[in-house]
Amino acid sequence: MSVFLMWSIFFRSCSKHEQVFLRAIVACFQKSGLEETSFDRVFDVAREIAAVEDGSASAGAALHSSAAFKICFDLAASRKVYTSNSDAQSNELQ
């Protein structure tokens, strides 16, 4: 089974918020050209994606930071996202 097919199966099995969060991570990576970013950047992009998909600015507000942290920790626990704490101020996603 190819890596792309396995990733596709995993992605489809994720909740809507997890999918938005993963897409936000990819968008941050593509924008910066680096394979690391901060949680704050991903959270902002995830809220923008949610707002665009649902067609209203209030849709992005539906994704709260506590829910986004839980999604991030769940993805890290399943080893789909690598997290590290580079300093006391910032959580980096890779």
Over residues 61-85, the mean pLDDT reads 83
Q: Judge residue 79's burial from the number of C-beta atoms within 10 Å of its C-beta, 0-12 exposed, 13-18 middle, 19 or more buried.
A: exposed
Rounded to an integer, what distance in angstroms lies between the CA atom of residue 41 and that of residue 46? Answer: 9
**What's the pLDDT tens digit per position in 77-94?**
888 788 887 654 445 555
Question: pTM of whole model > 0.85?
Answer: no
Place of tokens 């999604």: 71
Over residues 16-25, the mean pLDDT reads 89
Q: Which is higher by pLDDT, 34 or 58?
A: 34
Looking at residue 86, its pLDDT comes to: 62
Tell me if residue 74 falls in helix, strand or coil: helix
